[in-house]
Amino acid sequence: MYNSKYVISGLVIFLAVFSYPFWGNLASKDYTGPKLSLPTDQKQCIEPVEFMRSQHMTLLNQWRDSALREGKRVYVASNGATWDASLQKTCMSCHTNKAEFCDTCHLENAVEPYCWTCHVPPKGNE
Amino acid sequence: MKRSRRQFLKVASLSVAGLGAQLAAGGMTKAAAAVKPSYKEDALALKAKRWAMVIDTREFTSKEDFDACINACNTAHNIPHIPGKTEIKWIWKDAYEHTFTDTTNKYQSKEIEDREYFMLCNHCENPPCVRVCPTQATYKLESGIVAMDYHRCIGCRFCMAGCPFGARSFNFTDPRPYIKEVNPKFPTRMIGVVEKCNFCVERLDAGKLPACVEAAQGKIHFGDLSDPESEVRKLLEENFTLRRKPSLGTEPGVFYII
Protein backbone atom coordinates (compact mmCIF):
# COMPACT_ATOMS: atom_id res chain seq x y z
CA MET A 1 0.00 0.00 0.00
CA TYR A 2 1.28 3.47 -0.85
CA ASN A 3 1.77 5.84 2.10
CA SER A 4 0.69 3.16 4.55
CA LYS A 5 2.46 5.08 7.35
CA TYR A 6 0.14 8.07 6.96
CA VAL A 7 -2.97 6.17 6.05
CA ILE A 8 -2.86 3.81 9.04
CA SER A 9 -1.94 6.50 11.58
CA GLY A 10 -4.71 8.70 10.12
CA LEU A 11 -7.20 5.87 10.47
CA VAL A 12 -6.17 5.29 14.09
CA ILE A 13 -6.61 8.98 14.93
CA PHE A 14 -9.98 9.06 13.18
CA LEU A 15 -11.22 5.99 15.07
CA ALA A 16 -10.03 7.44 18.38
CA VAL A 17 -11.89 10.69 17.80
CA PHE A 18 -14.96 8.98 16.36
CA SER A 19 -15.32 6.59 19.30
CA TYR A 20 -14.56 9.21 21.92
CA PRO A 21 -18.18 9.43 23.16
CA PHE A 22 -18.08 5.71 24.01
CA TRP A 23 -14.78 5.36 25.86
CA GLY A 24 -14.94 8.92 27.14
CA ASN A 25 -18.21 8.17 28.88
CA LEU A 26 -16.92 4.85 30.23
CA ALA A 27 -14.17 6.69 32.02
CA SER A 28 -16.30 9.56 33.32
CA LYS A 29 -18.59 9.55 36.35
CA ASP A 30 -22.17 8.36 36.13
CA TYR A 31 -24.76 10.98 35.25
CA THR A 32 -26.71 12.16 38.25
CA GLY A 33 -29.94 14.09 37.89
CA PRO A 34 -30.23 17.59 39.29
CA LYS A 35 -30.75 17.97 43.02
CA LEU A 36 -34.21 19.39 43.66
CA SER A 37 -35.31 21.09 46.81
CA LEU A 38 -38.37 19.10 47.85
CA PRO A 39 -41.01 20.33 50.26
CA THR A 40 -39.95 19.64 53.81
CA ASP A 41 -43.40 19.42 55.35
CA GLN A 42 -44.93 17.10 52.72
CA LYS A 43 -44.01 13.51 52.00
CA GLN A 44 -46.73 12.65 49.50
CA CYS A 45 -47.25 14.27 46.12
CA ILE A 46 -50.67 14.15 44.48
CA GLU A 47 -49.68 11.04 42.50
CA PRO A 48 -46.70 8.63 42.70
CA VAL A 49 -43.31 10.28 42.08
CA GLU A 50 -42.61 8.34 38.88
CA PHE A 51 -45.90 9.45 37.41
CA MET A 52 -45.39 13.06 38.40
CA ARG A 53 -41.87 13.06 36.97
CA SER A 54 -42.96 11.89 33.53
CA GLN A 55 -46.57 13.05 33.31
CA HIS A 56 -46.93 16.32 35.19
CA MET A 57 -47.65 18.30 32.04
CA THR A 58 -50.33 15.80 30.94
CA LEU A 59 -51.92 16.14 34.34
CA LEU A 60 -51.79 19.93 34.23
CA ASN A 61 -53.40 19.90 30.79
CA GLN A 62 -56.22 17.73 32.13
CA TRP A 63 -56.60 19.99 35.16
CA ARG A 64 -56.90 23.03 32.94
CA ASP A 65 -59.57 21.54 30.68
CA SER A 66 -61.53 20.03 33.54
CA ALA A 67 -61.50 23.23 35.58
CA LEU A 68 -62.06 25.76 32.81
CA ARG A 69 -64.34 23.87 30.45
CA GLU A 70 -66.32 21.58 32.76
CA GLY A 71 -66.18 23.48 36.03
CA LYS A 72 -64.86 20.39 37.80
CA ARG A 73 -62.15 21.91 39.90
CA VAL A 74 -61.50 19.08 42.35
CA TYR A 75 -59.07 16.32 41.37
CA VAL A 76 -59.50 12.89 42.92
CA ALA A 77 -56.07 11.24 43.06
CA SER A 78 -55.50 7.52 42.60
CA ASN A 79 -55.18 7.12 46.38
CA GLY A 80 -58.54 8.84 46.94
CA ALA A 81 -57.19 12.15 48.19
CA THR A 82 -58.80 15.25 46.72
CA TRP A 83 -56.94 18.30 45.45
CA ASP A 84 -57.84 21.70 44.10
CA ALA A 85 -57.07 21.40 40.37
CA SER A 86 -54.93 24.52 40.31
CA LEU A 87 -51.26 24.99 39.53
CA GLN A 88 -50.99 28.05 41.72
CA LYS A 89 -53.15 26.99 44.64
CA THR A 90 -52.11 23.35 44.84
CA CYS A 91 -48.71 22.73 43.24
CA MET A 92 -47.06 25.98 44.25
CA SER A 93 -48.30 25.82 47.83
CA CYS A 94 -46.00 22.83 48.43
CA HIS A 95 -43.30 23.51 45.87
CA THR A 96 -42.67 27.00 47.08
CA ASN A 97 -39.20 27.17 45.57
CA LYS A 98 -39.64 27.55 41.84
CA ALA A 99 -35.94 28.26 41.21
CA GLU A 100 -34.71 25.10 42.90
CA PHE A 101 -37.58 22.82 42.00
CA CYS A 102 -38.99 23.62 38.57
CA ASP A 103 -36.09 25.51 37.04
CA THR A 104 -33.24 23.14 37.90
CA CYS A 105 -34.84 20.23 36.08
CA HIS A 106 -36.13 22.28 33.18
CA LEU A 107 -32.72 23.87 32.66
CA GLU A 108 -31.02 20.48 32.70
CA ASN A 109 -33.45 19.20 30.08
CA ALA A 110 -33.47 22.41 28.03
CA VAL A 111 -37.23 22.73 28.44
CA GLU A 112 -38.66 26.21 28.66
CA PRO A 113 -42.29 26.12 29.79
CA TYR A 114 -43.98 29.51 29.68
CA CYS A 115 -46.34 28.81 32.56
CA TRP A 116 -44.87 31.70 34.53
CA THR A 117 -45.79 34.41 32.07
CA CYS A 118 -49.28 34.14 33.57
CA HIS A 119 -49.20 31.89 36.63
CA VAL A 120 -47.68 33.54 39.64
CA PRO A 121 -44.73 31.72 41.21
CA PRO A 122 -44.69 31.77 45.00
CA LYS A 123 -43.30 34.92 46.56
CA GLY A 124 -39.60 35.11 47.31
CA ASN A 125 -38.51 32.99 44.37
CA GLU A 126 -38.95 35.41 41.51
CA MET B 1 -22.47 -22.12 5.66
CA LYS B 2 -25.24 -21.60 3.26
CA ARG B 3 -28.67 -20.92 4.68
CA SER B 4 -31.86 -21.87 2.94
CA ARG B 5 -34.68 -19.37 2.58
CA ARG B 6 -36.82 -21.57 4.86
CA GLN B 7 -34.24 -21.42 7.66
CA PHE B 8 -33.92 -17.64 7.36
CA LEU B 9 -37.66 -17.13 7.56
CA LYS B 10 -37.90 -19.32 10.69
CA VAL B 11 -35.28 -17.30 12.54
CA ALA B 12 -36.68 -13.99 11.34
CA SER B 13 -40.26 -14.74 12.36
CA LEU B 14 -39.17 -15.97 15.80
CA SER B 15 -37.21 -12.83 16.47
CA VAL B 16 -40.05 -10.59 15.34
CA ALA B 17 -42.47 -12.49 17.61
CA GLY B 18 -40.04 -12.16 20.53
CA LEU B 19 -39.67 -8.42 19.97
CA GLY B 20 -43.43 -8.00 19.74
CA ALA B 21 -43.99 -9.91 22.99
CA GLN B 22 -41.47 -7.74 24.77
CA LEU B 23 -43.09 -4.53 23.55
CA ALA B 24 -46.53 -5.78 24.55
CA ALA B 25 -45.34 -6.72 28.04
CA GLY B 26 -43.68 -3.34 28.45
CA GLY B 27 -46.83 -1.62 27.26
CA MET B 28 -48.95 -3.54 29.74
CA THR B 29 -46.82 -2.65 32.74
CA LYS B 30 -46.91 0.96 31.61
CA ALA B 31 -50.71 0.87 31.34
CA ALA B 32 -50.94 -0.63 34.83
CA ALA B 33 -48.81 2.16 36.22
CA ALA B 34 -50.93 4.84 34.52
CA VAL B 35 -53.15 6.88 36.78
CA LYS B 36 -56.90 6.91 36.25
CA PRO B 37 -57.89 10.51 36.73
CA SER B 38 -61.25 11.54 38.03
CA TYR B 39 -62.60 15.00 38.61
CA LYS B 40 -65.53 16.39 40.52
CA GLU B 41 -67.13 19.69 41.35
CA ASP B 42 -66.59 21.57 44.54
CA ALA B 43 -69.36 20.64 46.97
CA LEU B 44 -69.98 24.34 47.62
CA ALA B 45 -70.24 25.31 43.93
CA LEU B 46 -73.12 27.63 43.05
CA LYS B 47 -75.26 26.34 40.19
CA ALA B 48 -77.52 27.99 37.65
CA LYS B 49 -78.89 27.29 34.21
CA ARG B 50 -78.36 30.91 33.21
CA TRP B 51 -76.41 33.31 35.38
CA ALA B 52 -77.54 36.91 35.18
CA MET B 53 -76.71 40.19 36.84
CA VAL B 54 -79.09 43.00 37.77
CA ILE B 55 -77.46 46.37 38.46
CA ASP B 56 -79.52 48.86 40.41
CA THR B 57 -78.25 52.03 38.75
CA ARG B 58 -80.32 54.24 41.09
CA GLU B 59 -78.11 53.20 43.97
CA PHE B 60 -74.80 54.13 42.37
CA THR B 61 -74.54 57.80 43.19
CA SER B 62 -70.97 58.49 44.28
CA LYS B 63 -67.54 57.70 42.89
CA GLU B 64 -66.92 55.52 45.94
CA ASP B 65 -69.88 53.31 45.05
CA PHE B 66 -68.31 52.54 41.69
CA ASP B 67 -64.73 52.33 42.92
CA ALA B 68 -65.55 49.74 45.58
CA CYS B 69 -66.72 47.30 42.91
CA ILE B 70 -64.00 48.12 40.39
CA ASN B 71 -61.26 47.72 42.99
CA ALA B 72 -62.71 44.45 44.24
CA CYS B 73 -62.61 43.09 40.69
CA ASN B 74 -59.13 44.46 40.02
CA THR B 75 -57.56 42.89 43.08
CA ALA B 76 -59.37 39.58 42.62
CA HIS B 77 -58.22 39.17 39.03
CA ASN B 78 -54.84 40.91 38.90
CA ILE B 79 -56.07 43.52 36.47
CA PRO B 80 -53.28 45.95 35.62
CA HIS B 81 -53.67 49.69 35.75
CA ILE B 82 -52.34 50.83 32.37
CA PRO B 83 -53.11 54.46 31.60
CA GLY B 84 -54.23 55.52 28.13
CA LYS B 85 -55.73 53.69 25.19
CA THR B 86 -54.12 50.34 25.97
CA GLU B 87 -55.92 50.05 29.31
CA ILE B 88 -57.36 46.72 30.44
CA LYS B 89 -61.02 46.80 31.47
CA TRP B 90 -63.14 44.12 33.09
CA ILE B 91 -65.69 46.37 34.75
CA TRP B 92 -65.81 50.11 34.20
CA LYS B 93 -68.26 53.01 34.11
CA ASP B 94 -69.42 55.20 31.29
CA ALA B 95 -72.06 57.77 30.35
CA TYR B 96 -75.69 57.06 29.46
CA GLU B 97 -75.33 57.69 25.73
CA HIS B 98 -72.45 55.22 25.51
CA THR B 99 -74.24 52.57 27.53
CA PHE B 100 -77.71 52.65 25.96
CA THR B 101 -77.01 53.61 22.36
CA ASP B 102 -80.38 52.39 21.09
CA THR B 103 -82.58 54.81 23.03
CA THR B 104 -82.91 57.96 21.00
CA ASN B 105 -85.37 60.06 22.95
CA LYS B 106 -84.03 63.58 22.90
CA TYR B 107 -86.13 64.85 25.78
CA GLN B 108 -85.89 62.51 28.70
CA SER B 109 -85.06 62.58 32.35
CA LYS B 110 -81.95 64.65 32.91
CA GLU B 111 -81.26 62.67 36.06
CA ILE B 112 -81.09 59.40 34.14
CA GLU B 113 -78.94 60.89 31.40
CA ASP B 114 -76.48 62.28 33.91
CA ARG B 115 -76.06 59.02 35.75
CA GLU B 116 -73.05 56.82 35.14
CA TYR B 117 -73.48 53.16 34.37
CA PHE B 118 -71.39 50.09 34.96
CA MET B 119 -70.21 48.28 31.87
CA LEU B 120 -68.84 44.78 31.76
CA CYS B 121 -69.01 41.70 29.59
CA ASN B 122 -72.69 40.96 29.06
CA HIS B 123 -72.27 37.19 28.91
CA CYS B 124 -74.66 37.08 25.96
CA GLU B 125 -76.90 34.20 25.11
CA ASN B 126 -75.72 34.47 21.49
CA PRO B 127 -72.16 35.66 21.98
CA PRO B 128 -70.64 36.90 18.70
CA CYS B 129 -67.15 36.63 20.23
CA VAL B 130 -67.55 32.87 20.66
CA ARG B 131 -68.76 32.48 17.10
CA VAL B 132 -65.75 34.24 15.61
CA CYS B 133 -62.99 32.84 17.84
CA PRO B 134 -60.93 30.52 15.63
CA THR B 135 -59.30 28.57 18.48
CA GLN B 136 -62.22 28.22 20.90
CA ALA B 137 -60.21 30.20 23.41
CA THR B 138 -63.47 31.91 24.28
CA TYR B 139 -66.48 29.67 24.78
CA LYS B 140 -69.85 29.56 26.45
CA LEU B 141 -70.29 27.44 29.55
CA GLU B 142 -73.52 25.58 30.24
CA SER B 143 -74.32 28.13 32.91
CA GLY B 144 -74.38 30.90 30.28
CA ILE B 145 -71.04 32.39 31.24
CA VAL B 146 -68.77 33.35 28.35
CA ALA B 147 -65.37 32.20 29.55
CA MET B 148 -61.79 32.62 28.35
CA ASP B 149 -59.01 30.05 28.15
CA TYR B 150 -55.88 32.19 27.94
CA HIS B 151 -53.79 29.10 27.14
CA ARG B 152 -55.48 28.95 23.77
CA CYS B 153 -55.79 32.64 22.90
CA ILE B 154 -53.61 33.54 19.94
CA GLY B 155 -54.37 37.24 20.15
CA CYS B 156 -56.05 37.53 16.75
CA ARG B 157 -58.63 39.93 18.23
CA PHE B 158 -61.51 38.60 16.12
CA CYS B 159 -63.50 38.51 19.37
CA MET B 160 -62.83 42.20 19.95
CA ALA B 161 -64.15 42.94 16.48
CA GLY B 162 -67.14 40.68 17.14
CA CYS B 163 -68.10 42.09 20.54
CA PRO B 164 -70.56 44.97 20.10
CA PHE B 165 -70.04 46.09 23.69
CA GLY B 166 -66.30 46.76 23.68
CA ALA B 167 -66.03 44.46 26.65
CA ARG B 168 -62.71 42.94 25.64
CA SER B 169 -59.21 44.30 26.15
CA PHE B 170 -56.00 43.37 24.43
CA ASN B 171 -52.69 43.10 26.24
CA PHE B 172 -50.37 45.25 24.16
CA THR B 173 -47.65 44.94 26.80
CA ASP B 174 -46.75 42.60 29.61
CA PRO B 175 -49.33 43.55 32.26
CA ARG B 176 -47.27 42.38 35.26
CA PRO B 177 -45.38 45.63 35.89
CA TYR B 178 -48.71 47.48 36.05
CA ILE B 179 -50.21 45.34 38.80
CA LYS B 180 -49.72 46.99 42.16
CA GLU B 181 -50.09 43.90 44.28
CA VAL B 182 -50.30 40.49 42.64
CA ASN B 183 -52.96 38.19 44.05
CA PRO B 184 -51.23 34.78 44.15
CA LYS B 185 -54.56 32.94 44.01
CA PHE B 186 -55.31 34.07 40.43
CA PRO B 187 -53.07 34.12 37.36
CA THR B 188 -52.13 37.28 35.54
CA ARG B 189 -52.28 37.49 31.76
CA MET B 190 -49.45 37.76 29.29
CA ILE B 191 -48.69 40.03 26.36
CA GLY B 192 -50.74 39.24 23.26
CA VAL B 193 -53.95 37.80 24.74
CA VAL B 194 -57.46 39.24 24.88
CA GLU B 195 -59.09 39.37 28.29
CA LYS B 196 -62.45 40.26 29.82
CA CYS B 197 -64.80 39.80 32.75
CA ASN B 198 -65.51 36.14 33.51
CA PHE B 199 -68.53 36.67 35.82
CA CYS B 200 -66.16 35.38 38.53
CA VAL B 201 -66.71 31.80 37.41
CA GLU B 202 -63.79 30.75 39.63
CA ARG B 203 -65.59 32.20 42.66
CA LEU B 204 -68.97 30.68 41.71
CA ASP B 205 -67.30 27.28 41.41
CA ALA B 206 -66.03 27.73 44.97
CA GLY B 207 -69.41 28.81 46.33
CA LYS B 208 -68.84 32.57 46.39
CA LEU B 209 -70.67 35.38 44.60
CA PRO B 210 -68.79 37.58 42.11
CA ALA B 211 -66.35 40.05 43.64
CA CYS B 212 -68.22 43.15 42.40
CA VAL B 213 -71.55 41.81 43.68
CA GLU B 214 -70.01 41.22 47.08
CA ALA B 215 -68.41 44.67 47.15
CA ALA B 216 -71.59 46.42 45.96
CA GLN B 217 -73.41 45.46 49.18
CA GLY B 218 -76.82 44.93 47.67
CA LYS B 219 -76.60 47.36 44.76
CA ILE B 220 -75.81 44.57 42.29
CA HIS B 221 -77.77 41.34 42.30
CA PHE B 222 -76.75 38.00 40.88
CA GLY B 223 -78.73 34.85 40.27
CA ASP B 224 -80.33 32.28 38.02
CA LEU B 225 -82.39 33.84 35.23
CA SER B 226 -84.05 30.52 34.42
CA ASP B 227 -85.49 30.18 37.92
CA PRO B 228 -88.74 32.18 38.35
CA GLU B 229 -88.23 32.16 42.12
CA SER B 230 -84.78 33.69 41.98
CA GLU B 231 -83.92 37.16 43.25
CA VAL B 232 -82.99 38.46 39.81
CA ARG B 233 -86.30 37.37 38.28
CA LYS B 234 -88.24 39.05 41.09
CA LEU B 235 -86.28 42.27 40.57
CA LEU B 236 -86.95 42.15 36.84
CA GLU B 237 -90.63 41.75 37.54
CA GLU B 238 -90.82 44.64 39.97
CA ASN B 239 -88.60 47.18 38.19
CA PHE B 240 -88.18 48.72 34.78
CA THR B 241 -84.95 47.42 33.33
CA LEU B 242 -82.86 47.96 30.22
CA ARG B 243 -80.31 45.83 28.48
CA ARG B 244 -77.58 47.17 26.24
CA LYS B 245 -78.11 47.13 22.45
CA PRO B 246 -81.10 44.76 22.46
CA SER B 247 -81.62 45.20 18.71
CA LEU B 248 -78.48 43.17 18.01
CA GLY B 249 -80.09 40.03 19.39
CA THR B 250 -77.15 38.92 21.48
CA GLU B 251 -79.42 38.64 24.55
CA PRO B 252 -77.18 40.11 27.26
CA GLY B 253 -77.21 38.65 30.75
CA VAL B 254 -76.69 42.03 32.43
CA PHE B 255 -79.79 44.07 33.30
CA TYR B 256 -79.95 47.69 34.45
CA ILE B 257 -82.69 48.91 36.80
CA ILE B 258 -83.40 52.46 35.66
Summarised one tens digit per residue, pLDDT across range A58-110 is 999 999 999 999 999 999 999 889 999 999 999 998 898 888 899 999 999 99
Contact between B223 and B233 (Cβ < 8 Å): yes
* CA of B48 vs chain A CAs: smallest distance (Å): 12
What confidence category does residue A40 fall into, taking pLDDT thresholds of 50, 70 and 90? Answer: confident
Q: For residue A29, give the amino acid letter.
A: K
Question: Among residues B160, B39, B156, B164, which one has the least CA distance to residue B88?
Answer: B160
Confidence at residue A38, expressed as pLDDT on a 0 to 100 scale:
87
Contact between B154 and B137 (Cβ < 8 Å): yes
Contact between B215 and B68 (Cβ < 8 Å): yes
The continuous run of DSSP H or E covering A16 comes out as: helix A4-18
Confidence at residue B213, expressed as pLDDT on a 0 to 100 scale:
97
Residue boundaries of the structural domains of chain A: 49-117
Quote the CA–CA distance of B93 and B61 in Å, as a whole number: 12
Most A-contacting residue of B30, B38, B200 (CB-CB within 10 A), to test interface: B38
Of B41, B149, B184, nearest to A72 by CB-CB distance is B41
Confidence at residue B30, expressed as pLDDT on a 0 to 100 scale:
57
Confidence at residue B124, expressed as pLDDT on a 0 to 100 scale:
97
Most B-contacting residue of A117, A119, A123, A125 (CB-CB within 10 A), to test interface: A117
Q: Return the biggest CA–CA distance within chain B.
A: 110
* CA of B14 vs chain A CAs: smallest distance (Å): 31
Q: Is B147 on the interface with A (CB under 8 A)?
A: yes
Quote the CA–CA distance of B203 and B213 in Å, as a whole number: 11
* SS3 (DSSP) at A82: strand
Give φ, ψ of A56 to 5 degrees.
-65, -30
The conformational region for residue A114 under phi > 0 = left, psi -120 to 50 = alpha, else beta, is alpha
Quote the CA–CA distance of A81 and B13 in Å, as a whole number: 48
Q: Do A51 and B42 touch (CB under 8 A)?
A: no
Question: b/e string for B127-164 if b means 16 or more Cβ within 10 A?
Answer: bbbbebbeeebbbbbebbbbbbbbbbbeeeebbbebbb
Tens-level pLDDT at each residue, chain B (258 residues): 677 888 888 988 898 888 877 777 765 555 545 667 789 999 999 999 999 999 999 999 999 999 999 999 999 999 999 999 999 999 999 999 999 998 668 888 999 999 999 999 999 999 999 999 999 999 999 999 999 999 999 999 999 999 999 999 999 999 999 999 999 999 999 999 999 999 999 999 999 999 999 999 999 999 999 999 999 999 999 999 999 999 999 999 999 999
- State percent of chain A over pLDDT 90: 63
Give me the DSSP letters along chain B: ----HHHHHHHHHHHHHHHHHHHHHHHHHHHHHS---EEE--TT----SSEEEEEETTT--SHHHHHHHHHHHHHHHT-----STT---SEEEEEHHHH-TT---SS--HHHHHSEEEEE----SS-HHHHH-SS-SEEE-TTS-EEE-TTT-----HHHHH-TT---EE-SS-SGGG-SS--TTS----TT-EE---TTHHHHTTT---HHHHHHTTSEEEEETT-TTSHHHHHHHHS-EE-S-GGG----SEEEE-
Question: b/e string for B41-72 if b means 16 or more Cβ within 10 A?
Answer: ebeebbebebbbbbbbbeebeeeebbebbbeb
Give φ, ψ of A111 to 5 degrees.
-110, 130
Confidence at residue A35, expressed as pLDDT on a 0 to 100 scale:
87
Compute the mean pLDDT over every residue in chain A, rounded to the nearest whole number.
90
Kind of pairing, strands B241-242 and B254-257? Answer: antiparallel
Q: For residue B243, give the amino acid letter.
A: R
Q: Do B189 and A118 touch (CB under 8 A)?
A: yes
Confidence at residue A1, expressed as pLDDT on a 0 to 100 scale:
78
Of A85, A89, A123, nearest to B39 by CB-CB distance is A85
Packing angle between helix A20-27 and helix A4-18, nearest 10 degrees?
A: 50
Q: How many residues appear in chain B?
A: 258
**Residue B89: Cβ within 10 Å count:** 20
Residues of A in contact with B147 (CB under 8 A): 68
| pLDDT single digits (tens) A16-25 | 999 999 998 8
* SS3 (DSSP) at A34: coil
**Residue B187: Cβ within 10 Å count:** 20
Q: Is B188 on the interface with A (CB under 8 A)?
A: yes
Size of interface A-B (CB pairs under 8 A): 79
Q: Do B35 and A55 touch (CB under 8 A)?
A: yes
Confidence at residue B35, expressed as pLDDT on a 0 to 100 scale:
65
* CA of A121 vs chain B CAs: smallest distance (Å): 8
